[in-house]
């Protein structure tokens, strides 16, 4: 069986997972699924770059591509760390624990944000609190999961264009 093309994986797994999480932003299992599918896309792209010579990756072979992605597109490194933290718990690899924007421990947890809502925030009162799921970065800042996912989609948009995998990836992600 031929490996899935990155465009197909994006359309069949990543975008639906992000959209579904976007509808239910306090559901941890949906957040983790969206993060996982986003991170799995790196493996699919790495495998695609081997074609047509080979059709499967050897253990750890995608590591070089992931290191390059982390340097060029740090948000994809954060996504990778968040996915690995979910699978393995506290991470000890240097790329995760030494990167201030990395995630060496923890899973998405609720966080209170504050915003202005036209239907019920008075102009001269405090902003309205609302709950979101967030991951805590090594530097102590918290990143809202849906914003992180949207930023990662933008990063993949640029990567797909750089690799010539899609003519205009922004159309594929604009519906999120």
Q: What would the pLDDT profile of 113-157 be if each residue is shown by its tens digit?
A: 777 666 655 566 777 777 999 998 888 889 999 999 999 999 999
29: containing domain: 6-173
The answer as to whether 147 is a domain residue is yes
Asked, for residue 56, whether it belongs to a domain, the answer is: yes
Count: domains in the chain: 1
**3-state class (DSSP) for residue 4:** coil
- Whether residue 130 lies inside any domain: the answer is yes
Is residue 1 situated within a structural domain?
A: no
Please state, in angstroms and as integers, the Cα–Cα distance from residue 123 to each residue in 115, 129, 130, following that order: 12, 15, 17
Taking the alpha carbons at both ends of the chain, their separation in whole angstroms is 30
- Distance (Å, rounded) from C-alpha 63 to C-alpha 43? 9
pTM: 0.84
CA quadruple 80, 96, 61, 50: dihedral, nearest 10:
40
Domain membership flag for residue 58: yes
pLDDT digits (tens, 9 = 90+) for 55-104: 676 777 778 888 899 999 999 999 999 999 888 888 777 777 777 777 77
Tell whether omega for the bond before 24 is within 30 degrees of 0, i.e. cis. Answer: no
């Amino acid at each position: 069986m031929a490996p899935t093309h990155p465009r197909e994986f994006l359309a069949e797994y990543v975008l639906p997972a992000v959209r579904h999480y976007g509808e239910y932003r306090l559901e941890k299992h949906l957040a983790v699924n969206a993060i996982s599918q986003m991170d799995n896309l790196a493996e699919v792209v790495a495998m695609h770059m081997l074609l047509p010579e080979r059709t499967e990756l050897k253990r750890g072979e995608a590591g070089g591509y992931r290191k390059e992605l982390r340097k060029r597109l740090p948000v994809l490194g954060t996504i990778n760390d968040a996915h690995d933290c979910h699978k393995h718990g506290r991470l000890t690899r240097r790329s995760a624990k030494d990167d201030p924007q990395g995630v060496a421990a923890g899973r998405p947890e609720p966080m209170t944000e504050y915003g202005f809502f036209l239907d019920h925030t008075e102009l001269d009162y405090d902003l309205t609190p609302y709950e979101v799921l967030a991951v805590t970065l090594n530097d102590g800042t918290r990143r809202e999961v849906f914003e992180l996912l949207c930023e990662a989609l933008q990063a993949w948009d640029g990567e797909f264009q750089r690799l010539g995998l899609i003519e205009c990836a922004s159309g594929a992600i604009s519906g999120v």
